[in-house]
Amino acid sequence: MRIGIALFQFFPGRIGGVAEYIERLIPGLLKVMAQDDELVLCGNHENLAPFDSLNDPRLKRVLFSWSRRWIQCLRLADLILPGSLSSQFAGPLNDLQLDVFFCPQQSIFPRGVRARTVVAVMDFLHYRCPDQLSGVQRWTRRRKEEHFTRTCDHAISISAATQADLQLFYKVPAEKCSVVHLAGRAPQTTMAPNPVPPGTPYIYYPAAAFPHKNHPRLLQAFRRFRESHPETPARLVLSGQTSSRMQQLLRPHAAAGDVLHLGFVSSAEVAAIYAGSQGVIIPTLFEGFGMPVIEGLGYGRPVCCSDLPVFHELVGDAVRYFDPQSIESIQTAIEDLFAARVAVPGTAKTAEILERLNWDRCAAETYAVLCECGTGLPTRLSP
């Protein structure tokens, strides 16, 4: 079977959890594929570069010479004429004689591809938290989704919560849907030096500076905590994509130095930050999945997170929940983390979560869906 993967919108370091998903999925697929399968990566030099080190005769790279700017233009144009302009991808893709074509980012979804098509669905933020996006952002998301839900052969949702939304908002039949959970970064024993200065206990929140990540309430809650407990040494550590709005939010904390935003950090540094923290706090208003919850538990840290259905689906009672709309509720979670009042789940429970939510399993289940869709036959995945 020939499996094509669309990497046209894959720009490492710019798309957070989706980038992690793609970087983990491709080597994972190579581990479980049959020897007579082929995995065909489609993209430009920048899209394909992260996989240059993969040496496997079953891995093929097909270079599309279009620049990032031109690809972005195609993406925008497809919002007006869904799939029409990116149909110029279809000819080269059809020449590859693919059995199944997988779009892991639901971004560019060209018309005219003869292979069976599978798309990964991340979330429905624009329906669940419409006030967190502009009118243009809501329109573009819906326009894109209307196209791929109508034309794809199968949709992989990254959680049962996302699949429920897919069926609710777009009436996609159950037989056209599958749930394949993602994972978090596996705990690392070899770590880089911790970029957080030593000496002050800290809690950690890794998240890009998107509105739904709820940084303003978190910072307000942390400031109130510091005012109520001036004698307690404490620091809030943030990482991920920043913004001008985030810089404004951080200015009141600059003099005290009790909030540290590290920007993008390497995987080895992330491991060190988790391992050295007092705990992990995740006040997000909405998630399609939620990698930091799993990663925090993997490093044996107590985790406090928003009371969202997807987190209950993933980790059950292994974490402490709070109301992300309430500054008082977030402040209580902060106090409990620094006072060590949040229980760490037992080894057996953590092991069960990590076994159920890991990248090898994600790749194996994705491969099973691609086989079913591409061949119409039961998966060839070995038990």
Give the domain CATH number at 17.
Answer: 3.40.50.2000
Residue 9 has pLDDT above 90, yes or no: no
* pLDDT reading at 83 higher than 80: no
**Residue 75 included in any domain:** yes
Range among 56-70, 192-206, 244-258 rated most confident: 192-206
Same domain (yes/no): 222, 84 = no
* CA angle, residues 56, 11, 361, in degrees to nearest 5: 50
- When pLDDT is averaged across residues 42-46 and rounded to a whole number, the result is 90
pLDDT tens digits, 186-200: 777 777 899 999 999
Amino acid letter, residue 361: R
Q: Are 8 and 108 in contact (CB under 8 A)?
A: yes
Residue 125: inside a domain: yes
* Residue 240, domain extent: 202-356
* Distances, alpha carbon 117 to alpha carbons 80, 153, 332, in Å: 21, 5, 47
Residue 190 lies in a domain: no
Are residues 148 and 94 both part of a single domain?
yes
Closest CA to 158 of 183, 175, 176: 183
Total of domains in the chain: 2
- Runs of H (alpha helix) within 89-239: 90-95, 125-128, 135-151, 160-170, 215-228
Dist. CA 103–CA 286, nearest whole Å: 23
The pair of structure tokens assigned to 135 is 């009118």
The reply to whether 275 and 364 lie within a common domain is no
| Of 114, 91, 116, 92, nearest in space to 103 by CA | 116
* Phi, psi torsion values for 278, nearest 5 degrees: -75, -20
Tell me the two tokens of residue 105. Answer: 């980012």
- Tell the residue number behind the tokens 């999925």, with chain if given: 25
Q: For residue 135, with 0-12 CB atoms within 10 Å meaning exposed, 13-18 middle and 19 or more buried, which class applies?
A: exposed
- What does pTM read for this prediction? 0.89
At residue 41 the predicted structure's pLDDT band, cuts being 50, 70 and 90, is: very high
DSSP labels, 200-249: S-EEEEE--S-GGG-HHHHHHHHHHHHHH-TTS--EEEEES---HHHHHH
Q: What is the pLDDT of residues 85-137, one digit of tens each?
A: 566 777 888 888 999 999 998 665 667 788 899 999 999 999 999 998 888 88
Chain CA centroid to CA 228, Å: 35
Could you give the CA distance from residue 101 to residue 2 in angstroms, rounded to a whole number? Answer: 9
Contacts of 209 by beta carbon, 8 Å cutoff, 6+ apart: 215, 240, 241, 242, 243, 245, 246
Over the Cα atoms of the chain, what is R_g?
21
Residues 208 and 344 both lie in one domain: yes
Contact call for residues 108 and 78 (beta carbons, < 8 A): yes
Residue 325 shares a structural domain with residue 311: yes
Are residues 246 and 277 both part of a single domain?
yes
Residue with tokens 């869904």: 82
Q: What is the pLDDT of residue 110?
A: 65
Residue the block writes with tokens 């923290």: 277
User: Hey, what amino acid is at 121?
Assistant: V
Same domain, 132 and 208: no
Residue 63 token pair: 């270079």
Q: How far apart are CA 346 and CA 358, in angstroms?
A: 18
Residue 383 lies in a domain: no
Kind plus residue range of the DSSP H or E element containing 63 = strand 59-63
Cα–Cα nearest to 193, from 310, 272, 108, 89: 272
**Same-domain check for residues 352 and 362:** no
Q: What is the token pair recorded at 205?
A: 């929140």
Any idea which of 8-17, 184-193, 335-344, 360-369 has the lowest mean pLDDT? Answer: 8-17
The two structure tokens encoding residue 303: 């985790």
More confident residue, 378 or 312: 312
